[in-house]
Amino acid sequence: MPPPYAAVYFDCDSTLSSIEGVDELLQFADPALRADIARLTEQAMNGQLPLAEVYETRLQRLAPRREQLDRIGALYVQKLVPDALRTVQALQWLGKHLGILSGGLLTPVQHVAAALGIPVANVHAVALVFDADGSYRDFDRCSPLWRNGGKVEVIRALPAGHRPLAFIGDGATDLETQGTAARFVGFGGVVARPLVKARAETFANGPSLATILPHVLAADEWQRLAANPQFAPLLSSAKA
């Protein structure tokens, strides 16, 4: 479905931020685990392994502590992709609902939302459960986002006012939203995954997040941004 869209939602890892949060937890892990966990993450993102199988295994082996999540959140914000904040602000200025829909961990993803001014009610990710001493117990198994097809479920449950919706992401589980979201835009600004680039209805090469704008804006919306001195310079990056 062509624009305009009432809402634009984003994946977080390798889309809004240039890192993969679970991989960054490896800095706290035994070195022997690092290669295995990184390999599992890449296989899941490329659609080579079921997400649920990888998700549970990674968290059991990493067993992150509560305090580590804020450190990962701060790193997410440090590593925002070029023009992330200005792109989000431009879309909000146009009156669109903005949200994040991620298979990542909720606390770090909330740091990204706060930095970008995205309402907490529009942030969907997987919460962890900790013991009183901050040690890892489990993850929220009621969330659909730790398994394949979960993002489709969440999109279907979003408020009616957020439709039609465009979704932006880099990985195989993001690609699954194509056909449920009014438009899926593959984002290659951090990593251009061959599966996503080959199958996405439309693809933004990056590196700036603004390269999604030609894919999610109607002609009159583009013209409104071009007439606003605050956002007009962003459109040069959008054409990169």
- Distance between CA atoms of residues 190 and 170, nearest Å: 8
Query: Rounded to a whole number, what is the distance in angstroms from the first to the last CA of the chain?
Result: 24
Please list, in sequence order, all residues whose beta carbon lies within 8 angstroms of the beta carbon of residue 113, skipping any fewer than 6 positions away. 100, 119, 120, 122, 123
- Please give the backbone phi and psi of residue 236, each rounded to the nearest 5 degrees, phi first: -65, -40
Could you confirm whether 220 is annotated as catalytic? no
- Distance between CA atoms of residues 30 and 101, nearest Å: 30
- Distance between CA atoms of residues 73 and 57, nearest Å: 22
Could you confirm whether 140 is annotated as catalytic? no
Cis peptide preceding 4, ω within 30 of 0: yes
Burial of 230 (0-12, 13-18, 19+ CB in 10 A): exposed
Read off the tokens for 14. 């390798």
Active-site residues, by number, are 11, 13
